[in-house]
Amino acid sequence: MLADHRNPQLHRLGVSTMDGQTVPKRSTERPRRPRYGRRIDKRESKGSWVGMEQENEHIITRALEKAKAEYDLFEGSDFVGNRAVFILCQHLQGVVNTEKITAEQLDLYVRQWYDLCNGLLVDDDGDALSYTEIWAQFIDIWENERVKFPKIDHLALAIERARQYDKPRPEVAHLDCRRTHLIAHTCYELQQLRHDNQFFISQEDAGRIIGKGQKQGRLILNLLLSEGVLMLVEKGRTGLASTYTYVVNLSGSKRKKLTTTEFDRKKKAVLKQLRSMPNGPNGENNKR
């Protein structure tokens, strides 16, 4: 796929040609970030590549950068043949749904990675590889399913997805704390990345998600446990994080957020109940 102005697909995706290289167009508009987290595109629910591309393009870009960074760790003849493309496939398989995507649909991203490598890709004789040769290697590895162990940073991917929510999940909608929402959404996404309805997260990682320390992470995880959003499967120990299950409840928490009127009514009812007790909360007789 050539990246020029005659290709409407690349033009629509913001790719133009400059001296034979593909570069992203600069947008004149300031990007708007969702207030909460993962926004589900209607087309994504139908398994559309377009929906996945809009939502996860930045995640794929990070995977390309990681693949290139790993390439940089090797020197000279230690990194030849299709080894670079194999590592690219490992990183890509960690962030895309291989059952719903074809190799041709990844052509744009393979070319983007090729340009990131900036001519450093060589064959066994040290000669620079053309994009056509790289694409042939990619097709061979991807379509023949040669990658058995994709490289996945579950926590980083879960955080990226959690930050795209435009509203809190039903289980935590009654809590008026965006930091709590972010940790809860990350926990949910961590569980979605696994296939056993469990995930592990440390108090330190929970704190880092919201830019805080271990103490704040511990407090929010404990809150989510007490709210029934999380269930502890196995308590962690030195060097190992605790294992949890995220309890999905689309009908929402029983402890919904009270309106001002509801809060005032509940407060009056509690005060009335306390006054009617023969003894006060401190064990003293209220009657004078």
8 Å CB contact between 3 and 17: yes
- Supply the pLDDT for residue 42: 36
Name every residue whose Cβ is closer than 8 Å to that of residue 96 and which is 6 or more positions away in sequence.
52, 56, 60, 106
For the cut 80, the answer to whether the pLDDT of residue 231 exceeds it is: yes
**Helical H runs in the chain?**
8-12, 49-72, 83-93, 107-117, 131-143, 154-162, 178-192, 203-209, 214-226, 260-275
Which distant-in-sequence residues (6+ apart) come within 8 Å of 176 by Cβ? 257
Kindly report the pTM of this predicted structure.
0.52
Q: How confident is the model at residue 97 (pLDDT cuts 50, 70, 90)?
A: confident
Q: What is the pLDDT of residue 265?
A: 76
Confidence at residue 220, expressed as pLDDT on a 0 to 100 scale: 96
Q: How confident is the model at residue 255 (pLDDT cuts 50, 70, 90)?
A: low
Of 109, 75, 59, the closest CA to residue 89 belongs to 109
Q: Extract the tokens encoding 136.
A: 């042939």
Give me the sign of the Cα torsion angle 137, 139, 142, 145: negative
Average of per-residue pLDDT values in the chain: 77
Tell me the residue length of the chain: 288
* Residue whose entry in the numeric block shows the structure tokens 């407060």: 267
Query: Could you state, in order of their start, the residue ranges of all structural domains in the chain?
Result: 33-143, 172-246, 258-288
The backbone torsions φ and ψ at residue 169, rounded to the nearest 5 degrees and listed phi first, read -65, 155
Q: In whole angstroms, what is the distance from residue 185 CA to residue 170 CA?
A: 11
CATH architecture of 172-246: Orthogonal Bundle (1.10)
Mean pLDDT (whole number) for 19-31? 47
Identity of the highest mean pLDDT range in 93-102, 116-125, 220-229, 252-261: 220-229
Tokens 């390309």 map to which residue? Answer: 64
Please count the helices (runs of H) and the strands (runs of E) in the chain: 10, 5
- Half-sphere exposure of residue 64, counting CA atoms within 13 Å on the CB side? 18
- Ranges 23-32, 132-141, 245-254: which has the least confidence: 23-32
Report the distance separating Cα 197 and Cα 180, nearest Å: 21
Instruction: Give the span between the Cα atoms of 259 and 69, in whole angstroms.
Output: 51
The secondary structure of residue 174, as a DSSP letter, is T
- Judged against a pLDDT cut of 60, whether residue 18 lies above it is answered with no
Q: For residue 239, is pLDDT > 60?
A: yes
* Of 5-14, 196-205, 230-239, the least confident: 5-14
